[in-house]
Amino acid sequence: MDANDLDSENDPCPLILLPGLMCDVRIFASQLRAFPTAIGAPDYGEASSLTAMAELVLEAAPRRFALLGHSMGARVALEVFRFAPDRVARLALVSTGVHLPNAEEASKRHALRDIGRQKGMAALVDAWLPPMVASARQSDEALVTPLRRMCVDAGMGRFEAQIEALLARPEVESLLPRIQVPTLIAVGSEDRWSPPVQHENIAARIPGATLAVVESAGHMLPAETPGALNAAIADWLAAPETPSPTSSHGEKTA
């Protein structure tokens, strides 16, 4: 579906889905089926900055849209909002963070890079992916096999460009209080990479934000527990377009 096909005053606001590190629109298979106006983001290619990724999104996007980003895609979503806040009708940040890199992040990401350079992309993914899924689902082949294939398909060039972008990410925490659109913050209860407490802090900084903690899901929330996430997305899409800027964030467990 072409995003521009949805750019009509008579059509519902389209929902653009932004994937994260080593992911593509396959991570959103359930959301694309569940929401008729959902469209996948343009391919990031080997863009090596979040700014460049955001520019690609904006170039292809309709005039006004709802925006959901997962993991790195949520950081891209925040850059989209920074550049064009008047075009973003709603914002959802899923399984992500807003902090700058800490002292250990570069070495951990480069260690994965080195595995890929020495042993190949499949070995890199096999080292990275298991902790991204809830412990109870790590042997679920129906879940893990498609995720593994998607990540392997990304290739080393894309992985290296994306970790470069993440390690050079801009400060974003000061942007959060300026977000004045309906905002959903969602996380899996078993997410070890970006845990629920991190999302509580994000939601507390965005006026009127709703926090959804989805039980029994890890970092790959859109694929792991799609029904619960889709219910939170449906509520977010149905919320009034102008939240109260003074209200505290709501919280629910799905």
- The residue among 144, 113, 139 whose CA lies nearest residue 129 is 144
d(CA 22, CA 250): 31
Torsion angle (degrees, nearest 10) of CA 45, 186, 166, 35: 10
The pTM for the full model equals 0.92
Q: What is the pLDDT of residues 66-107, one digit of tens each?
A: 999 999 999 999 999 999 999 999 999 999 999 999 999 999
Q: What is the pLDDT of residues 169-221, one digit of tens each?
A: 999 999 999 999 999 999 999 999 999 999 999 999 999 999 999 999 999 99
CA angle at 79 for the pair 75 and 85, rounded to the nearest 5°: 130
d(CA 247, CA 236): 16
Q: What pLDDT is stored for residue 89 in this prediction?
A: 98
Q: What is the pLDDT of residues 21-77, one digit of tens each?
A: 999 999 999 999 999 999 999 899 999 999 999 999 999 999 999 999 999 999 999
CA angle at 7 for the pair 70 and 67, rounded to the nearest 5°: 15
Q: What is the pLDDT of residues 220-252, one digit of tens each?
A: 999 999 999 999 999 999 999 875 544 334 455
d(CA 172, CA 176): 7
Catalogue all structural domains in the chain, each as residue range(s) with its CATH number. 3-101+168-253 (3.40.50.1820)
φ, ψ of residue 221 in degrees (nearest 5)? -50, -45
Lookup: tokens for 9: 């005053």
